[in-house]
Amino acid sequence: MFDLKRLVRPNILALKPYSSARDEFKGSEGVFLDANENPFGELNRYPDSYQTKLKEKLSDIKGVDSKNMFVGNGSDEIIDLLYRIFCNPGIDKALTFTPTFGMYQVAADINDTQLIKLPLNEEFHIDRTSLKPYLNDETLKLIFICSPNNPTGNCFNKADIEYILQNFKGIVIIDEAYADFSNNKSWVKSFQEFPNLIVAQTFSKAWGLAAARIGIAYAGYDIIQLLNNVKMPYNISALNEEAAIQALRNQENFENNKDIILEEKKKLISELEQLNVIKKIYPSDANFLLVEVEDANETYRNLVEQKVITRNRNSLVENSIRITVGKPEENEKLIKALLSISKS
Ligand SMILES: *Cc1c(COP(=O)(O)O)cnc(C)c1O
């Protein structure tokens, strides 16, 4: 049986959350003299604490009820909130599979929580044997699964993720920042089957709104309520919520841009395959490619000199650089720069 209360920090379970003026009066009609706002101006009113309009729009698109959504100031806020809700500082632990997204570690460090890092296998997949001993540890509260994984680019096997969801009694977070670029099925509705699952998505990648800082968590209502209780009352600005709503209204633009990126990715792969500086291109379900070169530090520096900025991932995967798929002309510039390195 999944026991959410056992997992939550006692101070969070006992928390009396802040009650804003808008929590206490929810109507939209009237003269509003309750929140000490300035009566003049365009942006004079506090934003909706619960982003009702954005969630309604998203609900239509995702087929998930609004009450199963939490909007964070980027996925980064969601990751931090989960440590704060579940991990008693200095006592509890989290676990992830490396190499992976660096924020799981930074948020763990900020919250004084040990993050256990289990290496992925040669093909960058989850190794169940090394995971097994941890599954019954009562101080292990969170498992972060980044799929498609950053920086490796691949999705993890459905069977491995299901194994974790079924055998771990703590919280499992599947970070789907890149899921829109993948053909694999999203886990976004799977909290209905697995009450310990939280899926995180973001507007920062496929939706093209990294500047607006909008991340979404999909989970059972009890978990969503914990997130609502712990977040800052007005964590999403009205401007940013509106930007996300506008993006959702223009799904055609979203699909078109995604198609271009995926087409460019295919093209980039076939061009990179021709270059002798590129030793290996790892399989990718995302909008980036992890490639192996002879000397990543050297290649990275050389590309920077030619004003092409990639991400040197040498410290995570030996001699690798991560290349984001750009606009057609940007990708051409990358290929030209790599060609000049190949010749020299
Ligand atoms: C880019 C990225 C995010 C997005 O974070 P935001 O705070 O929503 O911008 C989340 N997870 C991973 C793995 C990423 O690579």
**Cβ of residue 72 lying under 6 Å from some atom of ligand 1:** no
Three-class secondary structure assignment of 10-53: HHHHCCCCCCCHHHHCCCCCCCCCCCCCCCCCCCCCCCCCCCHH
First to last CA, the chain: 62
User: CA–CA separation, 78 vs 158, rounded Å?
Assistant: 23
Output the pLDDT for position 318.
Answer: 97
Output the pLDDT for position 77.
Answer: 98
Three-class secondary structure assignment of the chain: CCCHHHHCCHHHHCCCCCCCHHHHCCCCCCCCCCCCCCCCCCCCCCCCCCCHHHHHHHHHHHCCCHHHEEEECHHHHHHHHHHHHHCCCCCCEEEEEECCCCHHHHHHHHCCCEEEEEECCCCCCCCHHHHHHHCCCCCEEEEEEECCCCCCCCCCCHHHHHHHHHHCCCEEEEECCCHHHCCCCCCCCHHHCCCCEEEEEECCCCCCCHHHCCEEEECCHHHHHHHHHHCCCCCCCHHHHHHHHHHHHCHHHHHHHHHHHHHHHHHHHHHHCCCCCEEEECCCCCCEEEEEECCHHHHHHHHHHCCCCCEECCCCCCCEEEEECCCHHHHHHHHHHHHHHHHC
Q: pLDDT by residue for the chain (344 residues), tens digit each? A: 899 999 999 999 999 999 998 889 888 899 999 999 999 999 999 999 999 999 999 999 999 999 999 999 999 999 999 999 999 999 999 999 999 999 999 999 999 999 999 999 999 999 999 999 999 999 999 999 999 999 999 999 999 999 999 999 999 999 999 999 999 999 999 999 999 999 999 999 999 999 999 999 999 999 999 999 999 999 999 999 999 999 999 999 999 999 999 999 999 999 999 999 999 999 999 999 999 999 999 999 999 999 999 999 999 999 999 999 999 999 999 999 999 998 65
- Location of structure tokens 């190949």: 342
* Atom nearest to 72 CA in ligand 1: 8
Q: Count how many residues are written for the chain.
A: 344
Most informative mutation of 79, 175, 235, 324 for ligand 1 (most atoms within 8 A of CB) = 175
Please give the helix or strand (H or E) that residue 145 lies within, else none.
Answer: strand 140-146
* Structure tokens that stand for 175 in this block: 């970070």
Output the pLDDT for position 325.
Answer: 98
What the chain holds in terms of domains, given with CATH numbers, is 4-249 (3.40.640.10), 252-343 (3.90.1150.10)
Minimal CA–CA distance to 196: which of 176, 172, 218?
172
Q: What is the pTM of this model?
A: 0.97
Most informative mutation of 100, 204, 213, 325 for ligand 1 (most atoms within 8 A of CB) = 204
**Cβ of residue 196 lying under 6 Å from some atom of ligand 1:** no
